[in-house]
Amino acid sequence: MDENAYKSTYNALNQNDCPFEKAMVICRHACQNSRRIGIGERLAIGCATTEARKTCRELLALLHDNAAFALHLTDTTVLPHAKELKVQCGGLRGLHNALVPENQEAAEITNIFTLVAEAQEHFNGLENLPFSEIVRSIVHFEGRRRGKG
């Protein structure tokens, strides 16, 4: 499929895209509000509710802003794929670890929106999250290594 045709189809079918789409596809996290949309051989993920999407977008913007210095970024609006994965997957893992400090393993997140809502309640708003801890998880997150050859 031509990339322009894919993007056009993606935008037409997925008007309420999930802010944590990469984390859901690559890191295999899940969310109660996700809608999976097959486009050719690719997978797009949308959000079922505008309120959940708004909250997740707010969290993702805060993760971008707080991780910018640690990731050596000057512009956090559009990140390269690998850095976006670090922010999304590492950020969610760091948020999980901040809420459940006794479980520091690389846990699979089974419901992103529930995690975000619990964090929002526990820390009295997303702006009060322990970003120094979360940014450490972002920096230490490593995606899959490419094989040689």
pLDDT at 23: 93
If you search the block for the tokens 């051989």, which residue do you land on?
41
Q: Distance between CA atoms of 65 and 86, rounded to whole angstroms?
A: 13
The better pLDDT of the pair 14, 139 is held by 139
Reported as a single tens digit per residue, the pLDDT across 44-67 is: 899 999 999 999 999 999 999 999
Q: What is the pTM of this model?
A: 0.87
**Spatial contact of 91 and 63, defined as CB atoms under 8 Å apart:** yes
pLDDT at 37: 85
pLDDT at 94: 95
